Amino acid sequence: ADSPKIIINFKTYSESSGEKAKQLAIHAEEVHDLSGVDIAIAPQAVDLKAIRDVVNIPVYAQHIDPISPGNSTGLYLPEALMEAGINGTLINHSEKPLKLAAIDEIIEITKKYDLTSILCSNNIRTSAACAALNPDFIAIEPPALIASGYAVSQCEPEIVSNTIAAVHEINDSIPVLCGAGITNGDDVKAALDLGAEGVLLASGVVKAEDSKAVLEDLVSKI
């Protein structure tokens, strides 16, 4: 079977911006190389190119806009992010929620360009709706637990297992990831035991005093 997937969302923390983003990306790659676990990172758009130049692990955008080249000031053009070296993108993160039609268009763009699509959802019902759009991954993240330090996989395990069931009722080939409050290897193991195929996390790694030690711990129980 494939390795479980660990996605580090850099969000907009100062600890994961600019030079610090590069350092964190290098740590993620080192832990990938040592463990063989599939670790991907989602830095801010402005840091993508510099990070792509220093690591080989998958690099995802945090968002892309469903636009074609032209006059769209302030938006993120898929082709430009691809030139910066992305392998995929998060879609509809609860901090960047989108309309259904936009999500559908973005997934079409990811298929056209062979980018990995990680479609985020905030609850069980929306996760089931997401399954109909056929992304590569669905990532359930209950907003209330984001950045809380309380792991969804340990504190609200039924959200994870019920999401997996709801998604697989629609399409049982879509792997489900979970996120919110994940900070250590036990949280990751709990997620995998529930049937998730990986996790997304941010603050537990980004805000840690020793991010590399946290990354090592995350993969230690897989």
- Per-position DSSP letters for 132-190, written without gaps between them: TT--SEEEE--GGGTTSS--HHHHSHHHHHHHHHHHHHH-TTS-EEEESS--SHHHHHH
Q: Closest distance between ligand G3P and the C-beta of residue 59, in Å?
A: 15
Q: Is 141 a catalytic residue?
A: yes
Q: Which residues bind ligand G3P (CB under 6 A)?
A: 9, 93, 141, 146-147, 179-182, 200-204
| Cβ neighbours of residue 143 closer than 8 Å, sequence gap 6 or more | 94, 122, 180
Closest distance of CB 64 from ligand G3P, Å: 16
Which is catalytic among the residues 27, 29, 32, 141?
141
Nearer of residues 27 and 93 to ligand G3P, judged by Cβ: 93
- Of 32, 93, 156, 197, the catalytic one is 93
Nearer to ligand G3P, 71 or 209 (CB): 209
Residue nearest to ligand G3P (CB): 203
Burial 155-191 (b: 16+ CB within 10 A, else e): bbbebbbbbbebbbebeeebbbbbbbbbbbbbbbbbb
Instruction: Closer to ligand G3P by CB, 153 or 203: give it.
Output: 203
Active site residues per annotation: 93, 141
